[in-house]
Each structure stands twice: as structure tokens, then as C-alpha cells.
Amino acid sequence: MPVRVYIPTPFRRFTANREYVSVEGETVRAVLDALDDAYPGFDHLVYDREGRVPAHINIYVNNRAIDELAGVETELSDGDQMAVIPALAGGAR
Amino acid sequence: MGDAEGRAPGAPQGSAFTPEEVMRYSRHMIMGPVGPVGQRKLRNASVLVVGAGGLGSPVALYLALAGVGRIGLVDFDVVDLSNLQRQILHQTADVGRPKILSAQESLLAYNPHVTVNTHGLPLTSDNALEIIPEYDIVVNGADNFATRYLANDAAYLSGKTLVDGSILLFDGQATVYRPGEGCYRCLYPAPPPPGLVPSCAEAGVLGAITGVVGSIQATEVFKQILGIGEPLVGRLLLIDALTMEFRMMRVRRDPACPLCGDAPSIHELIDYDQFCGTPPLAVAEGAAVAAGAHA
């Protein structure tokens, strides 16, 4: 089941500048693993050393944070859209 | 503290709008949801803008143009040539000058009817709870995570609405935190490890995206002051300039949030440099001197 993942510009250097990537996966975790298979190193963005999604990154499924759902074990359905969004700090300088 | 107040010489004061003000604000005042009553709300409002740079410039500019009565600026930096690609309050001749001074001059040149208060030092745990309570609304245009968490915590502890915005590369984010309806810590409970998320200085930023996000922040300020529309509360707006797509993500108050959750553990400001693992901000020499001159 392909899932479409939105990649914001700060992470696009990891996906060959692709803004959307479609990978197979039944859960968020499976999709993240598939992303890492397709783009080695992607898992360093979305997992910390303990294998958790770091607090400065939010993963959304259909615009809802997975923290509201079942975390990385959130099950996905056909047509679901994911987004991996980091905190940004730029503003003044 | 390096605070100073600026108002154009001879600028009219008082409760009644002058004919010049009526003409100046006419495109707002003829709109039903604004009208003379709304314009008076804008004039009676006070807004603190944290950072007089990429985001703070368009925010403060639109606040001044609209006649928001008192605008506060917090910034300790001096204008650098590399700022001028996007920071519209500063000009080439301002390079090397404290940003708060060039910003103040620009705002008063655009609209001499407003007051611009300058706070020429970094926002810190020592001064944030003195500065922020002086204003109705806080706008976050900080360029570092330590100041973002500080502004968030201080606004919440002061009972103030925080209009948040951030940018990097071709992306922007904007949301509004009203006390009790979620905060920055609910969205991002902890900052990234130092060096993991690059700054605009390291990665770059499209100048125009600062105008997009800053204009959205200013719009949200107006809505808050006027009490109109649906505020960007509980929603995070994501802007991708390359695809020109706007996304709206849900933001919820986290019951486990250490600041605004059900059993908060943060009751006062903390050491945000330690929290973020970053060195304290270094005050540029030129800015420190200028701040002292305006104390």
C-alpha cells in the first residue's frame, strides 16, 4: 500500500530534493523504514539514539500528529498522507 | 535595561482621530469588522515584537502602518549587510547600527502616530517577565530555540497570547498560542540537539518567505486585537514556497506539558541556554553601546 510522504525543504536534501515520496508501509514505522531504505540516512532525522522520534520533529498523518494517534505504530490506510515536520528557529538574523 | 520610547515630534495624541488619521486609516475603517471602533482598539493596543529581523520587520511594519498604538521591539543585534536581503526595516546606510534604532526610525517614518518602545538587550530570564507584561500581545520572531522557549514560557506565565512564526530555507511555520490552549512546548517539547537544525545563517532563507510569514503573524495580531475571524489557535500553518502549498496541522494542548499541562512543573523561567545546550547570546558591541545610550 503506497503512502505519500511530504518532505519539507529542510529535509529535502535527504530525498534528492523530492517534495513528495511514495513508499510502501502499513504503519508509520514501516513507512519511515521504507524511507530509510530508499534514502539511506533518513532514519537519523526521525529517530534519536534511543530509537524514538525526537521532540523537535512532528510526524503527521492526514494533518494529525501521531502523538494523538498511536505514535509510530499508527496504522495507515490507502490514500493516507504523512508529513515529517521539524521545528524551525529562523526569524531574526 | 536599554529601554527607550520613540514618537515622532509633533505627533498628534488624544482620543479623537484627526482628519489626517481618518484618511490614513480609511481603508481599514470603511470595513465593517474594523470601523472606527476597531481602529480605536488598534490604537489602544500594545504589541511586543521579539526580534527586529526577518520576521519582526514585516510584523512591526504592518502593525505601525495599521496604527497599533504602542509597538515594542526587543533586539540586541546590529544591522549586517547580509540582513538586507530580507529585513525590510533596515537599509544600506544602517549597516553597523543597532537594529532597534533603524527599525524605530523606519516605523516612525511610515507612521508618526504610533509609539515605538525599544528594548536593546537580549530577552532573558531576568528581564522577560518585566518586559512582556507591559504589552497586550507578544510576537515571536526570534532566530534561536533558546529565545523561542523563553518567549513561550514568559508569555504563558504572563497570561499573554503569543503569535509565533519561524522560517528556514523555503519553509515557514505560523501559529498562535493563547494561554490554556496549547503552547510551543506542546508542539515541540524539546529543542533539537545543538547544530542539528541549521539556522538561516547556516542554511539560508528565501527573503520573501519572511514577508509571507510576518504578514500572517501581523494578520493574526490584528484579529486578536479586533476580536474577528478564526484565530490560528490550535492550528499550525505550514508554508512551502517551492510548491506554494499551505498545510494546516492540528495543534493540541498537551495534558503532559510541563508548562501548560494538567500538572505543570515549570512555574518560573529557567536557564534556556542550558535547556537548549547552546552558549549564551553574545551582545554585539555596537548594540550594547547604543542600548546604554538610550537607557
Q: What is the pLDDT of residues A47-67, one digit of tens each?
A: 998 999 999 999 999 999 999
Task: Classify residue B201: in a domain, yes or no.
Answer: yes
Q: What CATH number has the domain bearing residue B89? A: 3.40.50.720
pLDDT at B10: 53
- 295 residues of chain B, pLDDT tens digit each: 467 777 665 555 557 899 999 999 999 999 999 999 999 999 999 999 999 999 999 999 999 999 999 999 999 999 999 999 999 999 999 999 999 999 999 999 999 999 999 999 999 999 999 999 999 999 999 989 999 999 999 999 999 999 999 999 999 999 999 999 999 999 999 998 877 777 777 788 999 999 999 999 999 999 999 999 999 999 999 999 999 999 999 999 999 999 999 999 999 999 999 999 887 766 655 554 343 322 2
Task: With residue A60 as reference, give the H or E element that holds it.
Answer: strand A57-61
Pairing of strands B171-177, B161-168: antiparallel
The C-alpha cell 503512502 sits at A3
Q: Which of A19, A63, A89 is closest, CB to CB, to B144?
A: A89
Task: With residue B60 as reference, give the H or E element that holds it.
Answer: helix B56-66
CA–CA distance from B185 to each of A2, B227, B245, B281 (Å)?
33, 25, 26, 21
CB atoms within 10 A of CB B258: 17
* Cα–Cα distance measured from residue B97 to residue B118, given in angstroms and rounded to the nearest whole number: 14
pLDDT of residue A77 exceeding 80, the answer is yes
Cα Rg, chain A, nearest whole Å: 13
Which residues of chain A does B238 touch, with a Cβ-Cβ cutoff of 8 Å? Answer: 8, 83, 85
| Shortest Cα–Cα distance, A19 to chain B (Å) | 8
Is A52 touching B (CB cutoff 8 A)?
no
| Shortest Cα–Cα distance, A1 to chain B (Å) | 24
Task: Classify residue B4: in a domain, yes or no.
Answer: no
Length of chain A: 93
Which residues of chain B does A47 touch, with a Cβ-Cβ cutoff of 8 Å? Answer: none
pLDDT at B132: 98
Burial label, B190 (beta-carbon count in 10 A; 0-12, 13-18, 19+): middle
Task: Classify residue B257: in a domain, yes or no.
Answer: yes
pLDDT at B285: 55
Question: Chains A and B: how many Cβ contacts under 8 Å?
Answer: 122
B71, B136 contact by CB (below 8 A)? no
Phi, psi (deg, nearest 5) at residue B139: -115, 130
Phi, psi (deg, nearest 5) at residue B282: -95, 125
- Asked whether the beta carbons of residue B249 and residue A55 sit closer than 8 angstroms, the reply is no
**Looking at the DSSP assignment, which residues form a beta bridge with residue B245?**
B240
Task: Classify residue B241: in a domain, yes or no.
Answer: yes
The ipTM of this complex is 0.94
CA–CA distance from B100 to each of B5, B94, B117, B123, B287 (Å)?
11, 11, 9, 13, 9
- Asked whether the beta carbons of residue A90 and residue B166 sit closer than 8 angstroms, the reply is yes
Q: Which domain holds residue B34?
A: 24-288
Which residues of chain B does A69 touch, with a Cβ-Cβ cutoff of 8 Å? Answer: none
| Shortest Cα–Cα distance, B10 to chain A (Å) | 32
pTM: 0.93
Pairing of strands A57-61, A2-6: unpaired
Task: Classify residue B3: in a domain, yes or no.
Answer: no
Q: Which of B148, B197, B251 is closest, CB to CB, to A86?
A: B197
Q: Which of A10, A86, A91 is closest, CB to CB, to B51?
A: A91
Cα Rg, chain B, nearest whole Å: 18
Is A58 touching B (CB cutoff 8 A)?
yes
Average pLDDT, chain A: 93
Task: Classify residue B8: in a domain, yes or no.
Answer: no
* Cα–Cα distance measured from residue B101 to residue B77, given in angstroms and rounded to the nearest whole number: 10
Report which of B5, B8, B168 is spatially closest to residue B100, judged by C-alpha positions.
B5
Task: Classify residue B35: in a domain, yes or no.
Answer: yes
pLDDT at B237: 98
Q: Which of B77, B189, B249 is closest, CB to CB, to A93?
A: B77
- Asked whether the beta carbons of residue B143 and residue A89 sit closer than 8 angstroms, the reply is yes
Task: Classify residue B52: in a domain, yes or no.
Answer: yes
User: How many structural domains compose chain B?
Assistant: 1
